[in-house]
A and B are shown apart, each in its own frame.
Chain A
Amino acid sequence: MNQDDSGTRKIRVAAMTRVEGEGGLDVRVTDGRIEHVRLQIFEPPRFFEAFLRGRPLEEVPDITARICGICPVAYQMSSVHALEAALGVEISPEIRRLRRLLYCGEWIESHALHVHMLNLPDFLGYPGALEMARDFPEHVERALRLKKLGNDMLECLGGRAIHPINVAVGGFYRAPRRSELSEFIPGFIAGLQLAEEATRFVATLDFPDFHQAYETVALVHPDEYAMCEGRIESSDGLSIASDDFGTHFVERQVEHSTAMQAVRRETGEPYLLGPLARINHSRDRLSPAAKRLADEIGWETPCLNPFRAIVARSLELVHAFEEALDILKNYTPPQPPRIAYGYRAAAGSSATEAPRGLLYHRYQVDESGKVTQAEIVPPTSQNQTQIERDLRDYLPRVITLPDPEVAEACEKLVRCYDPCISCSTHFLKVRVGRS
């Protein structure tokens, strides 16, 4: 045990693995009491909002896609919807469906990676996917197959799998031919089966009995499992349009993090975003196969155990495949692929559901089509305060363990959030001081 003369116990994890970005965790314990838990994000600020000022609005989807290599589509979707709201652009139903297909591709590649390669090793007792592959090659094989299907879809619709370049304000620069998308159908049928297999397996894992009194927040749509559109709803009764996000949610600067942390404006309390929140709010709008599977595995709603997020994420994987298949089978190329628009001085906002949770964008543009103000609130910066709250509540269960085991337990909990620290500033080193 690392304890100094004053009795302060210090536990340090130099570099937490299997989360995206760079950061640390600082836990201080005095007389067995947890003094503070700080998620220290020290990845330098990336100033994307400032880069956008003065740029033509057409550049926004491509610039914001650069914020993340895992969820670039989320940034593109939130940005184009916000800009279209500002310009008064109404997209066609065909463009809307093609955007949902693109988003399904991103959910598939991101969720498949996290469920199998980043999160599953924690439950099976391996330091990582590389070690897990020796004993459980089938899980890694499944991950690679699923992820490839997602990536191939992004490449087809987005022009390339990482940082797509085909998303435009008003639609797409080029819509794929029907034959191009039909080729995906056999692979996605197989993918759906693999996703169901993954969900049945992860539902049998041993989960810590840890439940939190979360206020969950997610986009909710009356007719579908929300991805790109809907009202922002919370388990505490909030139901607002995305335009009102700033009235009810606020970002604040904290000394120990280069990422802003978001809380509810009215209460100053944290809230939970992501797959658990989404399923809690929209279970009845999951695709038929995902809904049947949720019933089959006995999924209880609301689920407030962060460790079970791996199951929620897998259910969403099933949903994404099934919805993608529906779109693929009924695809009609949008004509035109991009809706024309004119410039006007206006502001617009949008929230869409990134794989890790709600992603809010707001832009102000001038009459020449230049961005004059941009605001981006990523899911990980919103979840950050809740992660610290979870750690504070979870630590008493593990604090009597040796330091390395405490650190490992903290890492496992944080990983359940699939945090993308690069997005929020945008990894983790854990340091625990005990006195």
Chain B
Amino acid sequence: MKPLASDQGNDVPTLVIGLGTPHGDDAVGLVLGQDLATWATDQGWTQVQVRSLRTPIGILDILDGSDRFARLVILDACVSDRPIGHFECWSWPHDAWETARCTGSHDLALPDVLTLAERLRRLPRSVTILGITIAPPSPAAESGLSATLQAAMPRLLRQVRREIMHDDPAAVAPSAVDSTFENGSRT
């Protein structure tokens, strides 16, 4: 398959990071990342590297310079006033992230990690954050996704694929391309 847009003429893949914990719908970023990796392997599409992280600070370790990436795509759960399963796409930097802060002081929130990566010149040129609305996390959450999110996963995976490949339509299998943007928004 044709590679994605490259950096300085080299074939540099897209780095996709699924963020989340295994608890309930907070796992949606992890699950989508795994599904994307499986799909890419099945399609023989090598221009994407998928990693999983429980907390954002690990992004700094992955972007330590040992690999170069043209693009970073973050998959993460978010809480919003939209329905569960709503798909949102933000390009970094974005005003919407100014107020997002971490709840744990020994960790850094995603906006802080991305800002720090930028100041340390580790950030790829293009950064996209794909957020999936979930219900507010509960300590009582069981492992595994809720039925609502499980039902939405095929659509969400198509939306993730489309966002990752939008620079390179030729790389998208015809069945994966949808004519409309389903249940989502881009800001």
Which A residues have a C-beta under 8 Å from some C-beta of B? Answer: 17-21, 69-70, 113, 118, 129-130, 133-134, 137, 140-141, 144-145, 148, 151, 162, 427
Contacts and interface: CB of A to CB of B under 8 A. Distances in A.
B120 A137 contact: yes
Given A144-B64, A162-B54, A134 B105 contact: no
Interface of B: 54-55, 60-61, 64, 104-108, 112, 115-116, 119-121
Given A148-B61, A148-B64, A133 B105 contact: no
A21 to B, nearest CB: 8
Contacts, number: 41
A247 B55 CA distance: 42
A139 to B, nearest CB: 11
B105 A141 contact: no
Contact of B119 (A17, A18, A130): A130
Contacts of A134: 119
Contact of B106 (A20, A141, A148): A20
Contacts of B54: 162
Query: Taking chain B's interface residues, is the majority helix, strand, or loop, or is none over half, making it mixed?
Result: loop
A133 B104 contact: no
User: What 4 A-B pairs have minimum CB-CB distances, sorted nearest first?
Assistant: A133-B119, A20-B106, A148-B61, A70-B106
Nearest to A21: B105
Nearest to A18: B105
A141 B61 contact: no
A69 B119 contact: no
A20 to B, nearest CB: 5
Contacts of B112: 130
B106 A69 contact: yes
Contacts of B115: 130
Contacts of B61: 144, 148, 151
13 contacts: A19-B105, A21-B105, A69-B104, A70-B106, A130-B115, A130-B116, A133-B119, A133-B120, A137-B119, A137-B121, A148-B64, A162-B55, A427-B105
A295 to B, nearest CB: 32
B120 A140 contact: yes
Contact of A133 (B64, B106, B116): B116
Contacts of A20: 104-106
B97 to A, nearest CB: 13
Given A129-B116, A141-B120, A17 B105 contact: yes
A420 to B, nearest CB: 8
Contacts of B105: 17-21, 427
A137 B122 CA distance: 11
Contacts of A145: 64
Given A69-B107, A133-B116, A137-B119, 13 more contacts: A20-B105, A69-B106, A70-B106, A113-B106, A129-B116, A130-B108, A130-B115, A137-B121, A140-B116, A144-B61, A144-B64, A148-B61, A427-B105
Nearest to B112: A130
A140 B116 CA distance: 9
A18 B107 CA distance: 9
B77 to A, nearest CB: 19
A411 to B, nearest CB: 12
Contacts of B104: 20, 69
Nearest to B54: A162
Nearest to A418: B106
B120 to A, nearest CB: 5
Contacts of B64: 144-145, 148
